[in-house]
């Protein structure tokens, strides 16, 4: 079965169609760039245009960079406050002809990795960390995912500001840290998340993972830590999976 997934980020969105039985991309993976902050109307118009051009009639899942509840945006730290309170489901669901799902973008990555990637077959508590402009945090416990955790927005235990301000890939770029310097700071985040979640396994995802061989010797955890299986398609794939058969979610 085929399903379309869209992964919205702070600097653009990506979309593709996937075979949900294998996770394989079918055809091209389209990337569209924008600059943040971007107004809701501008981005929604671009999404509508792409959907209409694709003339897609199957399931559609969208990952959004913020907390989502019943289709409404609760937070959008990398897009701007104008998004808060917008019912994105109502804005987009009428522009294709199939089932529709809207999910936090980091949760979409977590779903892809849990269902088809590095977390497949893992039991107990699985923590997936999405390292990018911020730090996305997704927890599966015995197959049940708790959505919209956003633990990366928690106060840093030692420094001013939230965790993702100091341990994200964006923080590394801003401060021009070497991989070793960044990994030392990221270790503090790992320690915090370990104490908070008590995971049995941790999966790391994001563009910075291209340096995994350099990073891994500098990280220490009492439980297994793995690199994600999927690259840039993970968020779109996870959204596409949720659009087809939903996801086992706990609302706390």
Please determine, for residue 130, whether its predicted confidence score (pLDDT) is greater than 90.
yes
pLDDT interval class at 74 (50, 70, 90): very high
pLDDT digits (tens, 9 = 90+) for 137-149: 999 999 999 999 9
Other Cβ atoms within 10 Å of 53 Cβ, number:
9
Burial of 246 (0-12, 13-18, 19+ CB in 10 A): exposed
What residue segments make up the domains of the chain, in order of their start? 1-252
pLDDT interval class at 131 (50, 70, 90): very high
Report the pLDDT value the prediction gives residue 172, as an integer from 0 to 100: 97
Please determine, for residue 252, whether its predicted confidence score (pLDDT) is greater than 70.
no
pLDDT digits (tens, 9 = 90+) for 30-49: 999 987 778 999 999 999 99
Query: If you average pLDDT over every residue of the chain, what do you get?
Result: 94
Region 61-75: what's the mean pLDDT?
A: 95
Please determine, for residue 87, whether its predicted confidence score (pLDDT) is greater than 80.
yes
Report the pLDDT value the prediction gives residue 218, as an integer from 0 to 100: 96
The string of DSSP codes covering 158-174 is SSSSBTHHHHSHHHHHH
Cα distances from 118 to residues 64, 111, 113, 228, in angstroms, run 22, 11, 5, 5
Consecutive H or E run containing 110: helix 105-116
- Using an 8 Å Cβ cutoff, are 209 and 227 in contact? yes
CA atoms within 13 A on the CB side of 231: 8
Cα distances from 205 to residues 6, 117, 193, 225, 248, in angstroms, run 17, 11, 15, 11, 21
Report the pLDDT value the prediction gives residue 250, as an integer from 0 to 100: 67
Report the pLDDT value the prediction gives residue 251, as an integer from 0 to 100: 56
pLDDT digits (tens, 9 = 90+) for 188-244: 999 999 999 999 999 999 999 999 999 999 999 999 999 999 999 999 999 999 999
CA atoms within 13 A on the CB side of 66: 22
Query: Which superfamily does CATH assign the domain made up of 1-252 to?
Result: ATPase, nucleotide binding domain (3.30.420.40)
């Amino acid at each position: 079965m085929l399903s379309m997934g869209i992964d919205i980020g702070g600097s653009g969105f990506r979309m593709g169609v996937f075979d949900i039985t294998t996770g394989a991309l079918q055809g091209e993976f389209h990337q569209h760039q924008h600059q943040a902050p971007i107004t809701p109307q501008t981005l929604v118009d671009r999404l509508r245009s792409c959907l209409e051009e694709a003339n897609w009639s199957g399931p559609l899942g969208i990952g959004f960079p913020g907390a989502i509840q019943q289709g409404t945006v609760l937070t959008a730290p990398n897009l701007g406050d104008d998004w808060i309170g917008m019912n994105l489901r109502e804005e987009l669901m009428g522009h294709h002809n199939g089932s529709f799902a809207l999910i936090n973008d980091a949760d979409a990555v977590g779903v892809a990795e849990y269902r088809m990637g590095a977390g497949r077959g893992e039991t107990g508590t699985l923590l997936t960390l999405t390292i990018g402009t911020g730090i996305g945090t997704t927890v599966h416990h015995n197959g049940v995912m708790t959505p919209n955790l956003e633990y990366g927005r928690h106060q840093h235990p030692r420094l001013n500001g939230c965790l993702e301000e100091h341990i994200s890939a964006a923080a590394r770029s801003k401060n021009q840290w070497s991989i070793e310097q960044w990994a030392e700071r990221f270790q503090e985040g790992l320690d915090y998340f370990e104490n908070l979640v008590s995971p049995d396994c941790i999966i790391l995802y994001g563009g910075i993972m291209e340096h995994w061989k350099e990073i891994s010797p500098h990280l220490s955890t009492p439980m297994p830590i793995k690199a994600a299986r999927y690259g840039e398609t993970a968020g779109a794939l996870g959204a596409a999976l949720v659009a087809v058969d939903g996801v086992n979610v706990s609302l706390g």
